A and B are shown apart, each in its own frame.
Chain A
Amino acid sequence: MTTTPEPDDFLEIGGTRLQSRLFVGTGKFGDDALIPAVCEASGAQVITMALRRVDLDAGPANLMGHIPAHMVRLPNTSGARTADEAVRIARLARAMGCGHWIKIEVVADSRHLLPDGYATARATETLAREGFVVLPYMNPDLYVARSLADAGAAAVMPLGAPIGTNRGLRTREMIAVLIEDLALPVIVDAGIGRPSQACEAMEMGAAACLVNTAIATAADPVGMARAFGRAVAAGREAFLSGPGAVRARASASSPLTGFLGQDGGRAPQEVAP
Chain B
Amino acid sequence: MTLTVNGSTRPLPRPANVAALLRDCGLDPAVVVVERNGTIVPGADYAATPLEPGDTLEILSFVGGG
Contacts and interface: CB of A to CB of B under 8 A. Distances in A.
B61 A95 contact: no
Interface string B37-58: 0001011000000000000001
Interface in A180-194: 190
Given A53-B6, A95-B33, A78 B59 contact: no
Contact of B62 (A29, A56, A64, A212): A64
A54 B65 contact: no
B59 A56 contact: yes
Interface string A50-93: 11111010011111100000000001101000000000000111
B65 A60 contact: no
Contacts of B31: 60, 62, 64
Given A92-B33, A92-B35, A56 B5 contact: yes
B8 to A, nearest CB: 7
A240 B66 CA distance: 28
Interface residues of A, number: 36
Contacts of B63: 49-52, 61, 63
Interface residues of B, number: 24
A212 B61 CA distance: 20
A48 B50 CA distance: 33
Contacts of B35: 92
B32 A60 contact: yes
B30 to A, nearest CB: 9
Contact of A213 (B25, B59, B66): B66
Contact of B65 (A26, A53, A56): A26
Contacts of A50: 62-66
B60 A52 contact: yes
Contacts of B7: 53
Given A25-B66, A59-B26, A64-B31, A52 B43 contact: no
11 contacts: A48-B65, A49-B62, A50-B66, A51-B63, A52-B63, A53-B60, A54-B60, A54-B61, A78-B65, A95-B40, A96-B61
The 3 closest A-B pairs by CB, nearest first: A50-B65, A25-B66, A212-B66
Interface of B: 5-8, 25-28, 31-33, 35, 40, 42-43, 58-66
